[in-house]
C-alpha cells in the first residue's frame, strides 16, 4: 500500500511561499484541486467561462497572449471574478530568459503580468538567475512561481538530471517558488517539501492525446498514482457542451482521488 499523504491543510502550515499557503488552504476549504486552462481566444468568452466554472476551481490558468483584447478593464473584471469565486489566477507565461530580461517581461510590457497573476511559471533552462529576476519583481507583491519540472507533451526534454536540478532549485528558493508543473512527481521527488505544490496539465477523463503531441492522463492517475496535487484541464472542460457541469465532474474526480490518497 502507498504511504498516506499529508492533507492540504497540514501542508499549508509549513508552506513558505505566501501563494502556496493561500492555495493549499483555499483547496481544502473549497474542496477542489481543479485548475482550468482557459485557452479561449475571445476575452468575452474568457470572462464568461471564469464566472461559469469559478465555483468549481482553485486556479484559473490563462495565456494572456492568446486573447483578442487585454486592457486594464479586462484585468479588473478577471480580478473581480477571482474574488467573487475565490480562485487564484495563473498566467502560464513560461518565462525562459536571463534574469534582467524576465524582470522587464514580468513587470512591464502590454500585460504587466505581475500586477494581476498570483502565479506564473518558468523554465530553469537559463539557470537560477531566472528565479532571482522574477523574485525581484514578484516577492514584494506576494506572488508565487511554479518551475517546469516535466511537460505533458510527447518527446519533451525535461527529464532525468534536468528534472532533479529543478527540484533542487525549488527547495532552495521556497520563499518565492510555490511548486512545480510536473507529470509524475512520485517518481522523481517522493519527498518533496510539503509546502511545494505540484500541478499537472494533460488531463482528461479518459486517457488519450491530440494530434500535436499532447498526452492525457486521468484525474485518478494524476492525483492518486503520480502523486500530483492539482489537475489542469483545458479542452476537456471549455470544449464540453456544458462547461460548468463538466467542471463539477472533474472537481469530484480530482477530490475523491485526493481523499483516497490522504486516507490510504
Active-site positions read: 92, 94, 97
Q: Was 61 annotated as part of a binding site?
A: yes
Q: Which is nearer to ligand 5IU, 53 or 233 (CB)?
A: 233
Kindly tell me which of 28 and 122 has the beta carbon lying closer to ligand 5IU. 122
Shortest reach from residue 151's CB to ligand 5IU, in Å: 3
Residue 4 annotated as part of some ligand binding site: no
Please give the full DSSP string across 116-185, using - where no structure is assigned.
T-SEEEE-STT-THHHHHHHHHHGGGT-EEEEE---SSTT-S--HHHHHHHHHHHHHTTTTEEEEE-S-H
Task: Give the nearest distance from C-beta 163 to ligand 5IU in angstroms.
Answer: 12
Pairing of strands 208-209, 215-216: antiparallel
DSSP 20: H
Q: How far is the CB of 143 from ligand 5IU (least distance, A)?
A: 18
Q: How far is CA 146 from CA 91, 150, 200, 231, in A?
A: 10, 11, 11, 14
Q: Which is nearer to ligand 5IU, 2 or 235 (CB)?
A: 235
Q: How far is the CB of 115 from ligand 5IU (least distance, A)?
A: 21
Residue 37 in 3-state DSSP? strand
Nearer to ligand 5IU, 12 or 92 (CB): 92
Is 127 assigned a ligand-binding role in the annotation?
no
Does the annotation flag 152 for ligand binding?
yes
Q: How many residues does the chain have?
A: 264
Q: Is 235 annotated as a binding residue?
A: yes
For binding to ligand 5IU (CB under 6 A), which residues are involved?
37, 39, 63, 92, 148, 151-153, 181, 201-202, 214, 232-236
What are the helix (H) ranges across the chain? 8-14, 18-30, 43-53, 72-85, 99-107, 129-138, 160-172, 185-188, 219, 235-238, 243-263
Binding site, by residue number, is 39, 61, 152, 214, 234-235
Binding site for substrate, by residue number, is 39, 61, 152, 214, 234-235
Amino acid at each position: 500500500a502507498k504511504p498516506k499523504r499529508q492533507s492540504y491543510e497540514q501542508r499549508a502550515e509549513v508552506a513558505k511561499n505566501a501563494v502556496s499557503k493561500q492555495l493549499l488552504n483555499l483547496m481544502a476549504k473549497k474542496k477542489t484541486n481543479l485548475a482550468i486552462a482557459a485557452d479561449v481566444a475571445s476575452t468575452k468568452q474568457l470572462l464568461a467561462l471564469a464566472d461559469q466554472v469559478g465555483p468549481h476551481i482553485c486556479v484559473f490558468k490563462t495565456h494572456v497572449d492568446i486573447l483578442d483584447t487585454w486592457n486594464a478593464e479586462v484585468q479588473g473584471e478577471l480580478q473581480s471574478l477571482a474574488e467573487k469565486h475565490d480562485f487564484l489566477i495563473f498566467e502560464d507565461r513560461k518565462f525562459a530568459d536571463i534574469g534582467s530580461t524576465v524582470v522587464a517581461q514580468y513587470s512591464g510590457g502590454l500585460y504587466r503580468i505581475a500586477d494581476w497573476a498570483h502565479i506564473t511559471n518558468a523554465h530553469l533552462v537559463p539557470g537560477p538567475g531566472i528565479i532571482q529576476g522574477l523574485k525581484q519583481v514578484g516577492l514584494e507583491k506576494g506572488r508565487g512561481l511554479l518551475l517546469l519540472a516535466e511537460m505533458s507533451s510527447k518527446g519533451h526534454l525535461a527529464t532525468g538530471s534536468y528534472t532533479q536540478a529543478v527540484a533542487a532549485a525549488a527547495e532552495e528558493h521556497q520563499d518565492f517558488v510555490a511548486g512545480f508543473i510536473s507529470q509524475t512527481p512520485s517518481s522523481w521527488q517522493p519527498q518533496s517539501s510539503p509546502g511545494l505544490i505540484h500541478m499537472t496539465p494533460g488531463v482528461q477523463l479518459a486517457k488519450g492525446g491530440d494530434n500535436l503531441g499532447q498526452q492525457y492522463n486521468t484525474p485518478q492517475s494524476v492525483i492518486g498514482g503520480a502523486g500530483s496535487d492539482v489537475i489542469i484541464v483545458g479542452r476537456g472542460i471549455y470544449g464540453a457542451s456544458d462547461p460548468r457541469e463538466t467542471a463539477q465532474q472533474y472537481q469530484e474526480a480530482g477530490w475523491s482521488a485526493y481523499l483516497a490518497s490522504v486516507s490510504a
